Amino acid sequence: MRLRNTETNAVQPLEPAGRPIGIYVCGITPYDTTHLGHAFTYVVFDVLVRALRAAGHAVRYVQNVTDVDDDIIRRARELGTTWDRLAAKETALYEADMADLNVRAPDVFPRVSQTIPKIIALARTLEAQGHAYQRGGNVYFRVGSVTDYGRLSRLSRDQMIKLSAERGADPNDPRKQDPLDFLLWQESAPDEPHWSSPWGEGRPGWHIECSAMALANLGPQVDVHGGGSDLIYPHHESEIAQSESVTGVRPFARIWAHVGMLRYHGDKMSKSLHNLVLVRDLLSRYDGDSIRVLVLRHHYRESWEYTPEQLDDADAWTGRLRDSARGSRPATGDPSAVRAALDDDLDTPRALQLLEESIRRGEGDWRAAADVLGLRLGADRLPAPETKKALGWRAPFS
């Protein structure tokens, strides 16, 4: 398996540090899920895990839930509910959507709300090392304590300051020693979620949550760390700084794999722009295979514009493929061509073409190849609860 590493900007072999292969993917912030951009990201990493396991590799796949977040708090207020009820509801919807897309559950599905002691311990260690400092009830990471902050994103200092402001930080916070310093722990308002800490009642900052969950579940080094390309800065950049500072192990991730952005009506698909295409709405008109084909027709690093016509075309193609599969000879032989395409920087567009050729020619074990791509091709569709159980998804907060 070869993947493009964002940090080195090169396609390089996946050479795990040991067994199992450790994969960490930044998961949802459950306040309004699941849109097609989510599907693109999590279907891609589902195929990555399937391909590695089909090749005989043991994998430990961790995907988190950021269930403590300013956006969840704000949305819960708007809806007149509590942050934890909203997070539980939206996480359950996400699990059902992923099951209908035949996305297998991660091996570990941690929530921020269940990781608070580990987050506090990590922040205390960073403070003791001199990498963090307290101002009032807030604790900040001291960016100047590391020499290569910015090596993942390759952004200038001015670019980082500008982008951090756009993505939720406050470079003008007077308590900061440096505009780029970021929150590890923040004081909570009376009506916000809060936990006791050495710095008072509060809640964690965004970046330290993923460092804590990755380190707790995969150790000091991750083989593949993934997520959307919009997370490169500041989230993943800051994860590197925190994690390597506390462990002394470099690099924190052996490969950074980032999925391109999905656009709709000319803008990145996002909740804030109100241009979401929800998976649940699409599933009322299309089956999971067709939606998987839609996103897998695009290379994972590609940013692309969604149009309904693309999904109609994917649906028609999937229908033809399913008809061909019904009339195909029994699947025998080696599905290695499809696997080889996936080994080449997860080339799913090429893998789909090869699958189609295999089915139409009656050559190779196309059923195994389809399974690596997560396509059912006519297998009975179970109701959502049964599908969730079969694919390993658990009820939230269980």
- Write the pLDDT tens digit of every residue in 329-375: 656 556 789 999 999 999 999 999 999 998 888 777 888 999 999 99
192 and 255 housed in the same domain:
yes
- Write the pLDDT tens digit of every residue in 190-224: 889 999 999 999 999 999 999 999 999 999 999 99
188 and 43 housed in the same domain:
yes
217 and 299 housed in the same domain:
no
Please tell me the distance from the alpha carbon of residue 37 to that of residue 348, in angstroms, as a whole number.
17
Q: Structural domain tally of the chain?
A: 2
Residue 29: the pLDDT is: 95
Residue 338: the pLDDT is: 93
4 domain residue, yes or no:
no
321 domain residue, yes or no:
yes
Give the pTM. Answer: 0.95
52 and 171 housed in the same domain:
yes
Instruction: Print burial letters for 369-393: b (CB count within 10 Å at least 16), e (below 16).
Output: bbbbbbbebeeeeeebeebbeebeb
261 and 332 housed in the same domain:
no
138 and 229 housed in the same domain:
yes
* Tokens encoding 178: 């440096």
* CATH number of the domain encompassing residue 135: 3.40.50.620
- Give the strand pairing for 132-135 and 59-63: unpaired
138 domain residue, yes or no:
yes
